[in-house]
Protein backbone atom coordinates (compact mmCIF):
# COMPACT_ATOMS: atom_id res chain seq x y z
CA UNK A 1 0.00 0.00 0.00
CA UNK A 2 1.28 3.47 -0.88
CA UNK A 3 2.20 5.71 2.05
CA UNK A 4 -0.15 8.50 0.90
CA UNK A 5 -3.06 6.12 0.43
CA UNK A 6 -5.33 5.98 3.49
CA UNK A 7 -7.13 2.72 4.23
CA UNK A 8 -10.92 3.03 4.09
CA UNK A 9 -11.56 0.62 6.94
CA UNK A 10 -9.80 0.00 10.16
CA UNK A 11 -9.68 0.99 13.72
CA UNK A 12 -11.01 4.55 14.15
CA UNK A 13 -8.47 5.67 16.81
CA UNK A 14 -5.60 4.38 14.67
CA UNK A 15 -6.93 6.27 11.65
CA UNK A 16 -7.24 9.46 13.70
CA UNK A 17 -3.67 9.10 15.03
CA UNK A 18 -2.32 8.51 11.52
CA UNK A 19 -4.26 11.52 10.23
CA UNK A 20 -2.69 13.89 12.76
CA UNK A 21 0.76 12.27 12.55
CA UNK A 22 0.91 12.64 8.79
CA UNK A 23 -0.51 16.14 8.95
CA UNK A 24 2.09 17.33 11.45
CA UNK A 25 4.90 15.73 9.47
CA UNK A 26 3.99 17.69 6.35
CA UNK A 27 3.68 21.06 8.10
CA UNK A 28 6.14 23.85 7.49
CA UNK A 29 4.74 27.13 8.83
CA UNK A 30 2.35 25.31 11.17
CA UNK A 31 5.20 24.01 13.30
CA UNK A 32 6.22 27.55 14.20
CA UNK A 33 2.63 28.47 14.96
CA UNK A 34 2.22 25.44 17.24
CA UNK A 35 5.45 26.36 19.02
CA UNK A 36 4.11 29.88 19.52
CA UNK A 37 0.83 28.50 20.90
CA UNK A 38 2.66 26.19 23.33
CA UNK A 39 4.89 29.03 24.56
CA UNK A 40 1.86 31.26 25.02
CA UNK A 41 0.01 28.59 27.00
CA UNK A 42 3.07 28.06 29.17
CA UNK A 43 3.19 31.76 29.96
CA UNK A 44 -0.54 31.93 30.69
CA UNK A 45 -0.81 28.89 32.90
CA UNK A 46 2.52 28.72 34.72
CA UNK A 47 4.07 32.16 34.86
CA UNK A 48 0.82 34.06 35.54
CA UNK A 49 -0.22 31.54 38.18
CA UNK A 50 3.08 31.93 39.97
CA UNK A 51 3.03 35.70 40.15
CA UNK A 52 -0.61 36.79 40.02
CA UNK A 53 -2.58 33.99 41.69
CA UNK A 54 -0.99 33.08 45.01
CA UNK A 55 -2.38 30.22 47.06
CA UNK A 56 -4.24 32.22 49.71
CA UNK A 57 -5.51 29.18 51.59
CA UNK A 58 -1.98 27.82 51.92
CA UNK A 59 -0.79 31.19 53.14
CA UNK A 60 -3.61 31.92 55.61
CA UNK A 61 -4.27 28.48 57.12
CA UNK A 62 -1.90 25.93 58.62
CA UNK A 63 -3.63 22.61 57.87
CA UNK A 64 -6.22 21.04 55.59
CA UNK A 65 -8.94 21.01 58.25
CA UNK A 66 -8.78 24.78 58.65
CA UNK A 67 -8.70 25.28 54.88
CA UNK A 68 -11.74 23.06 54.40
CA UNK A 69 -13.58 24.89 57.17
CA UNK A 70 -12.82 28.28 55.57
CA UNK A 71 -14.03 27.13 52.14
CA UNK A 72 -17.16 25.58 53.62
CA UNK A 73 -17.88 28.74 55.61
CA UNK A 74 -17.44 31.03 52.60
CA UNK A 75 -19.74 28.86 50.47
CA UNK A 76 -22.50 28.53 53.06
CA UNK A 77 -22.43 31.98 54.67
CA UNK A 78 -25.84 33.38 53.70
CA UNK A 79 -25.03 37.07 54.21
CA UNK A 80 -21.84 36.90 52.20
CA UNK A 81 -23.55 35.11 49.31
CA UNK A 82 -26.45 37.59 49.29
CA UNK A 83 -24.07 40.52 48.75
CA UNK A 84 -22.56 38.85 45.68
CA UNK A 85 -25.81 38.18 43.82
CA UNK A 86 -27.06 40.51 41.13
CA UNK A 87 -30.73 39.89 41.82
CA UNK A 88 -32.63 42.49 43.78
CA UNK A 89 -35.08 41.37 46.50
Residue with more model confidence, 33 or 10:
33
- Return the higher-pLDDT residue of 65 and 52: 65
Q: 64 pLDDT exceeds 90?
A: yes
In this predicted structure, the answer to whether residue 41 has a pLDDT above a threshold of 80 is yes
Identify the pLDDT of residue 89. 47
Would you say residue 47 has pLDDT above 60?
yes
Among left, alpha and beta (phi > 0; psi -120 to 50; other), residue 61 is: beta
Question: Does pTM top 0.85 for this prediction?
Answer: no
Q: Return the HEC string of 7-47.
A: CCCCCHHHHHHHHHHHHHHCCCHHHHHHHHHHHHHHHHHHH
What percentage of the chain's residues is helix, strand, coil (to nearest 5)? 70, 0, 30
Amino acid sequence: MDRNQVPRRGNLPVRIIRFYRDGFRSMTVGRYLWALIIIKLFILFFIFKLFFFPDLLQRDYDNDVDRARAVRHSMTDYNRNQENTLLTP
